[in-house]
Amino acid sequence: MSLFQMKWLRRLVRQNTKPIPELEAALWKRRLSVVYALLAWNAFGFVCYMAFSGKSDWAHYHGLKSDEEKEESQAVQFSKRLNVEKGKIIRYSGFKKVEELEFDNTKDK
């Protein structure tokens, strides 16, 4: 069963529709699963094509993100999104500290 059961919706659908024979329901389930598989495969192919053609950062490609925003690390972008004013970003690779960066988002406001 689902995490959030909407019993009122189930009751409404059951009262206003007639039952489908089991064989017909299985046939439609098979058809819909084939359509879903084809759509998912095409979407995966499109994402791979965009990544390999250099358009993986679609926001920058379409001009929604500036060059400065593209050069910022993901940690700095998250700190701005979360409205963190001041802090320190420490980057590790394995067990070694690679970089330690202080940031201040108060001057942007």
Provide the domain limits for residue 38: 13-53
Q: Is 80 a member of any domain?
A: yes
The tally of domains found in the chain comes to 2
19 and 46 part of one domain: yes
Residue 59 has pLDDT above 90, yes or no: no
The Cα-based distances of 95 to 74, 75, 87, 98, 101 in angstroms read 20, 19, 22, 9, 17
Q: Is 17 a member of any domain?
A: yes
19 and 49 part of one domain: yes
Residues 42-51 pLDDT 10s = 999 998 998 8
48 and 18 part of one domain: yes
Q: Is 20 a member of any domain?
A: yes
Can you give the pTM of this predicted structure? 0.51
Q: Is 1 a member of any domain?
A: no
